[in-house]
Chain A
Amino acid sequence: MPVIEVRDVTKQFMKGSETITPLRDANLEIERGEFVSLMGASGTGKSTLLNLIASIDRPTSGTIVVNGTDITRLSRSKLANWRAANIGYVFQTHNLVPVLTAYENIELPLLLLPLNRAERRKRVEIALGAVDLLDRANHYPRQLSGGQEQRVGIARAIVADPTVVVADEPTGDLDETTSSQILDLLQRLNRELGTTFLMVTHDPDAAAIAGRRLRLEQGRLVEVADHVPVPAALEVR
């Protein structure tokens, strides 16, 4: 049974007097433990789909079932609780809370779960170890490099052992070497933790680490064949 089922999802929004439809009758199924990358030109709706699956946005029509729950039917407050237990989000710009240390940033999702301090500490230390940042636990984001910040962001996304980790251009803000390290990390975590990963990227090399690659074209999802290179023109912003 797929862990993510997107059925006939359409998303529209108004931009001035114009109606924009970034997603039109999109359908997608992702199996548990899969690593899926999603590509597409700017404005094709990659992030929109990601946000819909992450339940921070709602579709205009269609249903999205994640881990057996139709998230389009949940109220806002129930969605927040559901998100805390099921979704890990990796942002392009890390989005760490500047007044909290690396440890405290990673601990944030655990505060929403029924865990005591000792259990939280154990989980945070495991997550810090997984991203190889145990020695930076008490550093504030301003004391970390871009790559380290993103690793903290990844640790925060996986610490609550979510059903799905969504990553929106996780290497978009990093240099080539650091990007490579982060992609390796994501791949390793997917392999070792068995967590489902859905990554939005416009970088074909980044997308290549995924077990399955999808492309959004004119609001519809298209499977990318293993050996067919993605046309560069489509991917350049």
Chain B
Amino acid sequence: MFFRLLPWEYGIRNLFRRPLRSGLTLLALTTVTLMVLVVVGFVRGLERSLAVSGDPRTVIVFSLGMGENLEYSSIPMGTTDLLAASTQGIQERYGRKYASPELYLGTKVRLSQDSPESLGLVRGLLPAALLVHRQVEIISGQWPQAGEVLVGRLAATKLGIAKQQLAVGSTLWFEGRSWRVCGTFSAGSGTFESELWCRLDDLQQTLKRQDLSLVAMTLGPTADFQDLNLFCKERIDLELQAIRQTDYFATLRKDYAPVRWLAWLVVSLIAGAGVFVGLNTMYGSVVGRIRELATLQTIGFSRRAAILSVVQEGTILAMTGALIASVIAYGLANGAAVRFTMGAFELQIDSLTLLIGNGIALCLGAGGALPPAMKIFRLSVVDGLKAV
């Protein structure tokens, strides 16, 4: 049923009635919302990193029974030519097939021989890799020559070092030799961005290996993945398996589900703490104003109007905190690089993250104010007028 609301100014000015209390609550709600935004930004960044890494037209062929551990995969060097010759419909341009033989490993990387080491992801490739991994773009420097390495945009984060330490011309140490940084590449925020890319032959010589980890191939519009899949299954002797790149990263996303759940649990715990902050403030606010709220009801304002006014106060406080937190999160946390086992990714404070963060803040404000507001419902107007 229609009812008249209390004046908007009433709710606003009530927030300034106890400035210290309101200020502290605002600080707490801002912190809570900021933490929620960062955690949601973490989840969104991780998911996006894995989601954009796959190309639906690209297929990865690697050793049978390796699960998704490409580092342990070992296939003969000749597999690329064999697959290219045996599979119909591989994308081709000027007679060059979109097939990229790759050697991939996780190894200890250092800035110099005596500096602390950290785990880096190294991939040896041919220039054909740029045909297959279409999202990759060299943003500075050039394709590596012998003894050179092209570093991903987030490789420094993965290695736990400053970005400047991987500037073009600087030196890295891994697998017992030094490598000169020859350039930087981006990969549309995909997982490749945390890798170090060098020439395939260079890496094979360094590792004294002649095999590959995988072959990545881009299928043409008329090609059928099942043909390649069937080929791998029929040629038992080759011990190969094929998987679409998107499916491969979808599997990885599933593996990170516990991380996501943990993150949401953290969001719930933080939000729970925020509700108590709101409850505490609004209880204080309502208890000190019982007679005033009863007076407003005596004048003719309905209980619902009084309750809504209290909820409005909590909501205004929470949304102010959310606005401040959103500005801070967008300004400081958006794009901040985070290291994880698969590489590195950037926190993503995008519209959805802001929507979730602000939605939770709205619930904190309204949810925190509702139980104290219901106190008005339980008390008769006459008893309210007698309240001290």
Residues of A whose CB lies within 8 Å of any CB of B are 51, 54, 56-57, 76-77, 80-81, 83-85, 87, 89, 91, 95, 97-100, 104, 108-109, 111-112, 156
Asked if A57 and B299 sit within 8 Å, CB to CB, the answer is no
* Residue on B nearest A78 in the bound complex, by CB: B1
> Closest residue to A160 on the B side, CB-wise?
B300
- CB distance B298 to A83 under 8 Å? yes
Q: Give CA–CA (A80, B6) in the complex, Å.
A: 13
Contact A111 B296, beta carbon cutoff 8 Å? no
Task: Give the complex CA separation of A87 and B381 in angstroms.
Answer: 15
- List residues of chain B with CB within 8 A of the CB of A80: 3, 297, 300-303
For A76, give its contact among B4, B291, B299, B303 (CB under 8 Å): B303
Q: Give min CB distance, B196 to chain A, whole Å.
A: 63
Contact of A99 (CB < 8 Å), options: B14, B302, B303: B14
> How far apart are the CA atoms of A85 and B47 in the complex, in Å?
59
Q: Is the CB of A111 within 8 A of B7?
A: yes
Task: Check: B10 CB closer than 8 A to any chain A CB.
Answer: yes
Among A77, A99, A104, A109, which residue has its beta carbon within 8 angstroms of that of B299? A109
A97→B10 contact, CB < 8 A: yes
Task: With a 10 A CB-CB cut-off, give which of B14, B291, B304, B382 has the most chain A CB atoms.
Answer: B382
* 28 A-B contacts (beta carbon < 8 Å): A51-B382, A54-B298, A56-B298, A56-B381, A76-B302, A80-B301, A81-B300, A84-B300, A85-B300, A87-B300, A89-B299, A91-B295, A95-B385, A97-B10, A97-B295, A98-B292, A99-B9, A99-B10, A99-B13, A99-B14, A99-B16, A100-B10, A100-B13, A104-B9, A109-B299, A109-B300, A112-B4, A112-B299
Decide: A84 and B9 in contact? CB cutoff 8 A. no
Question: Once A and B bind, how many residue pairs between them come within 8 Å at the CB atom?
Answer: 70
Q: Is the CB of B300 within 8 A of A95?
A: no
Q: Determine chain B's interface SS by DSSP, over half rule.
A: helix
B300 touches A57 (CB 8 A): no
Chain B residues with Cβ under 8 A from A112's Cβ?
4, 299-301
Distance in angstroms between the alpha carbons of A87 and B301 in the assembled complex? 12
Q: From the candidates B4, B9, B295, name the one contacting A95 in the complex (CB within 8 A).
A: B295
Contacts of A91 in B (CB 8 A): 295, 385
State in angstroms the CA–CA spacing of A149 and B385 once bound together.
Answer: 17
Q: Are A56 and B301 in contact (CB under 8 A)?
A: no
For B378, the chain A residues whose CB sits under 8 A away are: none
Asked if B177 is at the interface of the complex by the 8 Å CB criterion, the answer is no
Contacts A91-B295, A97-B10, A97-B292; A57 near B1 (Cβ below 8 A)? no
| B341 contacts chain A at the CB level, 8 A cutoff | no
**A57 B381 Cβ-Cβ under 8 A:** yes
Contact code string B6-39 (vs A, CB < 8 Å = 1, else 0): 0101100110110000000000000000000000
Chain B residue at smallest Cβ distance from A109: B299
Cα distance, A98 to B301, chains bound together (Å) = 17
Contact status B291-A95, CB under 8 Å: yes
Q: How far does the Cβ of B14 sit from chain A's closest Cβ, in whole Å?
A: 6
Q: Is B205 an interface residue (CB 8 A)?
A: no
* Residues of chain B contacted by A76 (CB below 8 angstroms): 302-303
**Residues of A contacting B164 in the complex (Cβ-Cβ under 8 angstroms):** none
Q: Top 3 closest A-B pairs, CB basis?
A: A84-B300, A99-B13, A95-B295
Chain B residues contacting A156 (CB-CB under 8 Å) are 299
With A83-B300, A87-B300, A104-B7 already in contact, 6 other A-B pairs whose C-beta atoms are closer than 8 Å: A54-B298, A57-B382, A77-B302, A89-B298, A97-B10, A111-B7
Closest Cβ–Cβ distance, residue A105 to chain B (whole Å): 10
Chain B residues with Cβ under 8 A from A109's Cβ? 299-300
Q: Complex Cα distance A54/B294, Å?
A: 13
Within the complex, the shortest CB–CB distance from B212 to chain A, in Å, comes to: 74
B380 contacts partner chain A, Cβ-Cβ < 8 Å: yes
Q: How many angstroms from the CA of A54 to the CA of B10 in the assembled complex?
A: 24
Cα–Cα distance between A109 and B4 once the two chains are bound (Å): 11
Interface string of B364-388 (1 = CB under 8 A from A): 0000000000000000111001000
